[in-house]
Amino acid sequence: MDNPSSAEAEVVALIWSQHPCDRRHRKEAAFIKCAIPKLEWVDGEGPYACIAWCRVPTATLWATYSEALRAKRDIDYRACGGKCLRKHQIVRIVLG
Ligand SMILES: [Zn+2]
Ligand SMILES: [Zn+2]
């Protein structure tokens, strides 16, 4: 599996079930903060993460894929922040 923190991560939905860490995260927010050490903030709850890799990585969590997709389309359209590079991605988090 590619390093999920890579800025070259493809803009597709993919599954993250592990990262280099011995802990078992019980919350997706804890998982994603650990998987992306540079993550500026994470908001929401749920297994679908809409991640913006622009400037500083940020993420929102959603209960369903369609909600995450809506969030992605929203920032695709409006831009996610000051220096949006349109590097937005949905991943599904599967806790171990
Ligand atoms: Zn971890
Ligand atoms: Zn962006």
Dist. CA 85 → ligand 2 center (Å): 5
Q: Where are the beta strands (DSSP E) in 1-96?
A: 14-16, 41-44, 48-52, 58-62, 88-93
Distance in angstroms (rounded) separating the CA atoms of residues 39 and 71: 18
Q: What is the pLDDT of residues 1-35, one digit of tens each?
A: 444 444 344 444 689 888 888 888 999 999 999 99
Q: What is the pTM of this model?
A: 0.82
Nearest ligand to residue 17 Cα? 1
Q: Show me where the domains of the chain are located.
A: 14-79+88-93
Higher pLDDT, 1 or 93: 93
Q: What is the pLDDT of residues 42-83, one digit of tens each?
A: 999 999 999 999 989 999 999 999 999 999 999 999 999 878
Distance in angstroms (rounded) separating the CA atoms of residues 36 and 67: 21
Q: According to the model, what pLDDT value does residue 13 have?
A: 61
